[in-house]
């Protein structure tokens, strides 16, 4: 089922943030109906750099394709600011759709953008973002490919301006609205009350600007989608750091059976079946 169909049926969706095919396989194997390709995670895992527009369009769309090839879950993909002007937005939408994403997220930050839960973010004019949304909706090949409009105006200009922008982006054709970084539950309630009947996305980041609520609480407020963009990345950091420290201090591996779990996740069984059928190393 497409994400558009899920939303139309009123399904509530919680999507973990994935950043490479490996993390995407893990989430997909657990049965999540949707996953979110996080720009923060792609910059970190691919380049070892912060989420400040270092990953190029080519690098991001390649990551979309790599993830889509090994998963069945609906893929929501971070498209940052669209990677430039209106022609770049057109190319990004066409590329993300062809690569296998079902949603592209576009934001109204100035380039180079910053993570939505860090400082020094600035937004472009609302009219300029409306043009980007218009181009994005016209560039897609199918209406099943959705355009998510994100505004980062709240932190710089306040909640009223963020709501005004979200309204303008909705009128321009955005399918999903994402008002980034509300700072209180009351602001989150204002967003949901303003846009009843519109798919709204909440962004949960531990240690970020927004109150960290349970998915069920967010759905009760009126959000239909919740993303957890850096949760798996943070867990990977913690797990790998602890494993490396154990190896450094003990001189041995803590998990002596790790390859079997990896082989199962990565579907080595399919390779072995081919080996058995046609001979080794075909």
The per-residue pLDDT for range 251-282, each reduced to its tens digit, is 988 876 678 888 888 888 888 898 888 886 65
Same domain, 225 and 262: no
C-alpha dihedral, 51 to 52 to 54 to 60, nearest 10°: 50
Q: What is the dihedral of CA 110, 16, 6, 73, to 10 degrees?
A: 110
What are the backbone angles phi and psi of residue 22, rounded to the nearest 5°? -65, -50
Q: Give per-residue pLDDT as tens, 63-109.
A: 999 999 999 999 999 999 999 999 999 999 999 999 999 999 999 99
What does the pLDDT look like over 147-173, one tens digit per residue?
999 999 998 899 999 999 999 999 999
Which backbone phi and psi does 59 adopt, to 5 degrees? -70, -40
Residue 12 lies in a domain: yes
Q: Is the domain of 68 the same as that of 204? A: yes
278 and 207, same domain (yes or no): no
- Identify whether residues 81 and 209 lie together within a single domain: yes
Residue 260 confidence (pLDDT): 87
The chain-wide mean pLDDT, for the chain, equals 93
- The pTM for the full model equals 0.93
Domain CATH number, residue 23? 3.20.20.60
């Amino acid at each position: 089922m497409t994400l558009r169909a899920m939303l139309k049926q009123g399904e509530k969706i919680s999507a973990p943030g994935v950043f490479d095919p490996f993390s995407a396989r893990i989430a997909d194997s657990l049965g999540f109906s949707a996953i979110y390709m996080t720009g923060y995670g792609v910059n970190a895992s691919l380049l070892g750099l912060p989420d400040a527009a270092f990953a190029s369009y080519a690098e991001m769309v390649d990551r979309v394709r790599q993830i889509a090839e090994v998963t069945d879950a609906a893929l929501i993909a971070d498209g940052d600011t669209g990677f430039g002007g209106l022609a770049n937005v057109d190319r990004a939408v066409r590329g993300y759709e062809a690569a296998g994403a079902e949603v592209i997220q576009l934001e109204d930050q100035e380039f180079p953008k910053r993570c939505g839960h860090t400082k020094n973010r600035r937004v472009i004019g609302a009219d300029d973002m409306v043009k980007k949304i218009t181009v994005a909706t016209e560039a897609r090949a199918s209406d099943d490919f959705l355009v998510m409009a994100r505004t980062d105006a709240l932190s710089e200009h306040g909640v009223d301006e963020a709501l005004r922008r979200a309204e303008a982006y909705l009128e321009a054709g955005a399918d999903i609205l994402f008002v980034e970084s509300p700072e209180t539950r009351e602001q989150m309630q204002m967003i949901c009350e303003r846009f009843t009947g519109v798919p709204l996305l909440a962004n949960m980041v531990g240690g970020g600007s927004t109150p960290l609520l349970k998915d069920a609480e967010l759905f009760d407020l009126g959000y239909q989608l919740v993303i957890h963009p850096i949760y798996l990345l943070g867990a990977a950091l913690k797990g790998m750091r602890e494993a490396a420290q154990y190896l450094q201090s003990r001189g041995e591996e803590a998990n002596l059976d790790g390859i079997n779990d990896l082989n199962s996740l990565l579907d080595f069984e399919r390779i072995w079946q081919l080996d058995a059928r046609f001979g080794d190393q075909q």
